[in-house]
Structure 1
Amino acid sequence: MARQLRAEQTRATIITAAADLFDRQGYESTSLSDIVGHAKVTKGALYFHFAAKEDLAHAILELQAMAAQQLVADVENRGCSSLEALMRTTFGVARLAVDDPVPRAALRLATADLSVRPPLRHPFTEWLDFATRKFSGAVKESDVHADLDVAAVSHSLVCFFVGTRVAGRSLEPVERLPRRTAEMWFLMLRGLVPVHRRPRYLTLATQLEREIRAG
């Protein structure tokens, strides 16, 4: 049992080290030797758990997928509107990225030249599907304009959110991500939401950003 626990701890250490490097340096620029040095483990220990760098990236994406599924489940259990659920989910992902290198790496890996092995789906596909469902629900709930191009707006939202992190990575600390997420929503809400419903969601964006900063 103790040996199994040590093995699990070593695996987690390697994943965290790889995630940190993938986020800061990029997947393509990070070698297994870099990860061994950063994790302070032997090459044998790394190869015991992961046969290739791609396996490490896949493990990070799997962990992020599970975290995202739990986040979505928690939001859905609130019984909130479709637009609120979408907003809470994006801020939830921002919170995860601030707190943990694994979600940060997953955001960057989503833009890397990396094949995602089934049954795992590419993060963009998951995020686009979720955004499409929520914007479609928001149309039915009259929280956004009735003539909204759901597919175009969903694609723009995903690119906006991921691009905010990618563009800001070398310019500002990750702690700035909640502010950038709020700015994203301030811009989108003014174009998507009818005037009489807009104050509720603008206030929500401010509230969700404050919750992350206070947490």
Structure 2
Amino acid sequence: MAKQDRAIRTRQSILEAAAVVFDERGYDAATITEILARAEVTKGALYFHFASKEELALAVIDAQMPDTVQPAAPTSSSKMQELVDMGMIFAHRLLDDALLRGSVRLTLDHGSTNLNRSSPFHGWTELHTRILTEGKERGEVLPHVVPADTAELIVGAYAGINTMSQAVSNRVDLERRATVLYEHLMPSIAVPSVLARLDMAPGRGARALAEVERMRKSALDASEADEAEELGAAPAGVA
């Protein structure tokens, strides 16, 4: 188990180091030598986990999916607030999450013509489609909205403001741009009663992320309490 944990940590260290190098230099200019130096691992350790620079880059790209595209729990009972919160949390995390920044740089880096960068776009679009569909079933979405088409529009528009924000301010203003985007898009998506309750204000990303983390902690505490109770109830001599 200790050996497995060490391998997991080594793989994560390599991913994070590669993300920093890819974010700074882009895919084509980044070198394995730079990544090894930043990760402080041997070439053998890197190639044990990743067969090539391309495979490593694809792993960095895919690393944004579990936490960003599939949050552990919705931050609101409103599906449209959940939709907004995904983008606001994403903008907030990009400020200091090196792995996410590297993933985004690779995803939006058009110079890397041989790199398949489509998975995050598919993942985001599928998730937005599902949430919009659920929102429509709940009566939160206007009748004319086609979830799949609207999902593609949101994902494409967000990629656009992300690229612009990176060029203009190194993403410092991304959350403000996300707020403006949602303020313009959501009136054509959400029914008025839901729209009036949406929190799209600057700072929503930090607030929503804190709420998600509280829910995760509560779920973890409850799980640990249940486990302790089961162990306490076990008959003597039973491990």
Amino acid at match of 1:115: N
Unaligned runs of 5+ in 1: none
Based on CA coordinates, which of the two structures has the bigger radius of gyration?
Answer: 2
Quick one: distance in 2 between partners of 1:80 and 1:93?
A: 19
Structure 1 residue 180: Cα displacement: 2.1
Quick one: distance in 2 between partners of 1:151 and 1:174?
A: 28
Structure 1 residue 166: Cα displacement: 2.3
Quick one: distance in 1 between partners of 2:37 and 2:83?
A: 39
Q: Output one character per residue of 1:168-190: Cα deviation in whole Å (capped at 9) or x when no partner.
A: 22321334322222222111123
Q: Output one character per residue of 1:150-209: Cα deviation in whole Å (capped at 9) or x when no partner.
A: 3322111111222222232232133432222222211112333344543212xx111614
The residue number in structure 1 matching 2:182 is: 185
Q: Output one character per residue of 1:19-76: Cα deviation in whole Å (capped at 9) or x when no partner.
A: 11222332233222232343344434433432211221232234322223651x311x
Quick one: distance in 2 between partners of 1:19 and 1:211?
A: 26
Quick one: distance in 1 between partners of 2:194 and 2:84?
A: 15
The residue number in structure 1 matching 2:51 is: 51
TM-score relative to the length of structure 1: 0.77
CA RMSD of aligned residues (A): 3.1
Unaligned runs of 5+ in 2: 212-239
The residue number in structure 2 matching 1:25 is: 25
The residue number in structure 2 matching 1:34 is: 34
The residue number in structure 1 matching 2:14 is: 14
Amino acid at match of 2:50: F
The residue number in structure 1 matching 2:120 is: 123
The residue number in structure 1 matching 2:227 is: none
Q: Report if the CA contact (8 A) 1:107-1:162 is conserved.
A: no
Amino acid at match of 1:141: R
The residue number in structure 2 matching 1:74 is: 73
Quick one: distance in 1 between partners of 2:30 and 2:197?
A: 44
Q: Report if the CA contact (8 A) 2:182-2:200 is conserved.
A: yes
The residue number in structure 1 matching 2:103 is: 106
Quick one: distance in 1 between partners of 2:86 and 2:46?
A: 33
Q: Report if the CA contact (8 A) 1:17-1:39 is conserved.
A: yes
Q: How does 1:58-97 map to 2 (within 5 A)?
A: 58-68=58-68, 71=71, 73-75=72-74, 80-97=77-94
Quick one: distance in 2 between partners of 1:150 and 1:7?
A: 41
Q: Choose from 135, 138, 143 the match for 1:146.
A: 143
Aligned residues: 206
Q: Report if the CA contact (8 A) 1:179-1:209 is conserved.
A: no
Q: Report if the CA contact (8 A) 2:129-2:151 is conserved.
A: yes
TM-score relative to the length of structure 2: 0.71
- 3-state DSSP of counterpart to 2:180: helix
Q: Output one character per residue of 1:62-108: Cα deviation in whole Å (capped at 9) or x when no partner.
A: 4322223651x311xx5612211211222222233223111222223
CA separation of 1:189/1:41 partners in 2, compared to 1, >3 Å: closer, same or farther? same
